[in-house]
Amino acid sequence: MKKYEALNPKFKEYTEFKISKNKFMHNLGFEITKIEPGYIEGDLKFKEMHEQQNGWLHGGVTSTILDMAQGFAAYSMVEDGKQVFTVEAKVSYFNPGIASQFFTRGYVIKPGKRFHFCEAEVYYLKEDGSEVTVAKGSSTMAVV
Amino acid sequence: MKKYEALNPKFKEYTEFKISKNKFMHNLGFEITKIEPGYIEGDLKFKEMHEQQNGWLHGGVTSTILDMAQGFAAYSMVEDGKQVFTVEAKVSYFNPGIASQFFTRGYVIKPGKRFHFCEAEVYYLKEDGSEVTVAKGSSTMAVV
Amino acid sequence: MKKYEALNPKFKEYTEFKISKNKFMHNLGFEITKIEPGYIEGDLKFKEMHEQQNGWLHGGVTSTILDMAQGFAAYSMVEDGKQVFTVEAKVSYFNPGIASQFFTRGYVIKPGKRFHFCEAEVYYLKEDGSEVTVAKGSSTMAVV
Amino acid sequence: MKKYEALNPKFKEYTEFKISKNKFMHNLGFEITKIEPGYIEGDLKFKEMHEQQNGWLHGGVTSTILDMAQGFAAYSMVEDGKQVFTVEAKVSYFNPGIASQFFTRGYVIKPGKRFHFCEAEVYYLKEDGSEVTVAKGSSTMAVV
């Protein structure tokens, strides 16, 4: 993961403020656990409300988590007062989401003035501690 | 929109059965209102729980609706007992989702044995009845 | 296809000028046959140099044609002197490209100040005149 | 980059055979320089025929190189006699391609029975040896 300098010295407070206002995220139970310039970590305890038709993690929950990990990674890399909007996002689904807890990391892969390109993964941990990637996201985030 | 023949004479019951088991969809309040071979319509009444940080429709809700419209459009085009999984999905965000009710249409654009390519839109209606597209989705749905 | 007003009264000359300078396009033998505001048509006579390993149209040729149809559709919708750059593009491959001539249409699906969202198809014609879609593209074009 | 075991003991010869038959690739002047299970390297000397309207590397050349790096990475991971087809591919353009030589690496990020998910980058080298990424690709490759 590349290390970046934040443009906003209060990037953490600013990103946390944006997170605090995100009601859908709180409804899901998704929590951000780490904020660094251009880098986000979060996790989600699996609940019955997250199930698709087979009882596994719903692709919509997965894409929401990826969107937030990427969007807030972008927020941590903008000047104070600037906003971030998702222009487009792609999600590739690698493995079914069958676990009691899911994790995500989102990161800016190419920062820019007009937009930040971001990527993110949702994964769970096997008993031996190794990661199983549920889905990988790639997105364009506009800085406005 | 292309017209297709369903491979499953009970495509409607089969798709409805899959829909009935989708808990995340019911949690959101998203409802499917029309099922034809390769074509789905649905709607969502906007609620506070759907808000992102500006009070607009969260991109994760949008991408979830697009995923379901496309996934169930694909389900309506498979043989009885077959399952559908999202391989990958892209969403382009055209306009902010600021409305009290949202609509979607999802459709198979290229059916196949191994996968169905699908597209979908989420939109709302202006007072004059014209549509404002919030987002457009394109996806690959595996038939297993 | 939506009808748009061009922002540049000389949109046709401006787009043709950009096309004239595109050497890779001329190397391929791809020709633009129609330019309207936000809409492009073109065609390509299949040659041996376009072949992938099975002797069919190479996916790279397909994605190049889609990129140009979308990029020049965007060029026809910008103010004089503005430039267009591809931010990102997705291509879905529906059918193998086995034909002596290929056609494309590219169009702006959502114009904007900062970027135009575009789509395009590459297709060939069956003997009965019906279209077989080889690939569908969707892209974000930045206006700079 | 993950290390994989090849399913085909002659994966190198098999991939080289497929490469040898790819005429569009040879027309471009793109050369594969390394083949490992699930991993490909290649390079391209920039020529006038590769130019877009500003004299830079054409996005179609970029997407072609990414497609081949990903497709042949997938070919190196299939059983003897199996074929690989691009289902869909996305390309994000990070920086203009202004250099005399370009490099690519393509890799399988999630192998599978039905399809391999792949990623690839096109980059050039600055005088200090550091990489500038021109574009990043992500794709779904069907194994047939």
pLDDT digits (tens, 9 = 90+) for D6-40: 999 999 999 999 999 999 999 999 999 999 999 99
What is the distance between the alpha carbons of residues D60 and D91, in angstroms, rounded to a whole number? 10
pLDDT confidence of residue D2:
83
pLDDT confidence of residue B2:
83
Chains that touch B (3 or more CB pairs under 8 A): A, C, D
Chain C contact for D61 (CB, 8 A cutoff)? yes
- Locate all alpha helices (DSSP H) within chain A, ordered by sequence: 11-20, 23-28, 59-75
pLDDT confidence of residue B90:
98
Chain D contact for C63 (CB, 8 A cutoff)? yes
Once rounded to an integer, what is the mean pLDDT over residues C109-138? 97
B11-143 CATH, one of 3.30.980.20, 1.10.490.10, 3.10.129.10, 3.40.50.620: 3.10.129.10
- Is D67 in contact with C90 (Cβ distance < 8 A)? no
B18 contacts in chain A (CB < 8 Å): 53
Evaluate whether B126 touches B66 at the Cβ level (below 8 Å).
Answer: no
Once rounded to an integer, what is the mean pLDDT over residues A32-44? 98
In this structure, are strands C30-36 and C84-93 parallel, antiparallel, or unpaired?
unpaired
- Is B63 in contact with A89 (Cβ distance < 8 A)? yes
pLDDT confidence of residue C112:
96
Confidence of residue C108 (pLDDT cuts 50, 70, 90): very high
- Is B22 in contact with A91 (Cβ distance < 8 A)? no
Chain C contact for A109 (CB, 8 A cutoff)? no
pLDDT confidence of residue C1:
75
Could you report the predicted ipTM of this complex, rounded to two decimals? 0.96
- Dump pLDDT digits (tens) for B14-29: 999 999 999 999 999 9
Domain positions in chain D: 11-143
Residue of B nearest to C134 (CA): B110
CA-to-CA dists, residue C121 to C65, C86, C90, D28, angstroms: 9, 17, 12, 23
Evaluate whether D24 touches C52 at the Cβ level (below 8 Å).
Answer: yes
B88 contacts in chain C (CB < 8 Å): none
C104, containing H or E segment: strand C101-110
pLDDT confidence of residue D138:
98
Low-confidence ranges of chain D (pLDDT < 70): none
Report chain A's mean pLDDT, rounded to a whole number: 96
Instruction: Out of C94, C110, C138, name the one closest to residue B90 (CB).
Output: C138
pLDDT confidence of residue C47:
97
Q: Where are the beta strands (DSSP E) in chain A?
A: 30-36, 39-45, 84-93, 101-110, 115-125, 131-143
Confidence of residue C128 (pLDDT cuts 50, 70, 90): very high
Instruction: Indicate which of B110, B113, B132 best probes the interface with C, i.e. most C CBs within 10 Å of its own CB.
Output: B110
Residue of A nearest to B84 (CA): A53
Once rounded to an integer, what is the mean pLDDT over residues B98-115? 97
pLDDT confidence of residue A1:
76
pLDDT confidence of residue B118:
98
B133 contacts in chain C (CB < 8 Å): 110
Min Cα–Cα distance to chain C from B136, Å: 10
Q: What is the dihedral of CA C56, C62, C64, C70, to 10 degrees?
A: 160
Q: What percent of chain C has pLDDT over 90?
A: 97
**C59: Cβ contacts below 8 Å, ≥ 6 apart:** C52, C91, C93, C135, D64, D67, D71, D86, D89
Instruction: Indicate which of A14, A15, A21, A24 best probes the interface with B, i.e. most B CBs within 10 Å of its own CB.
Output: A24
C32, containing H or E segment: strand C30-36
Evaluate whether D114 touches B115 at the Cβ level (below 8 Å).
Answer: no
pLDDT confidence of residue D91:
98
Centroid of chain to Cα B14? 16
Once rounded to an integer, what is the mean pLDDT over residues C13-19? 95
pLDDT confidence of residue C130:
96
Evaluate whether A112 touches A73 at the Cβ level (below 8 Å).
Answer: no
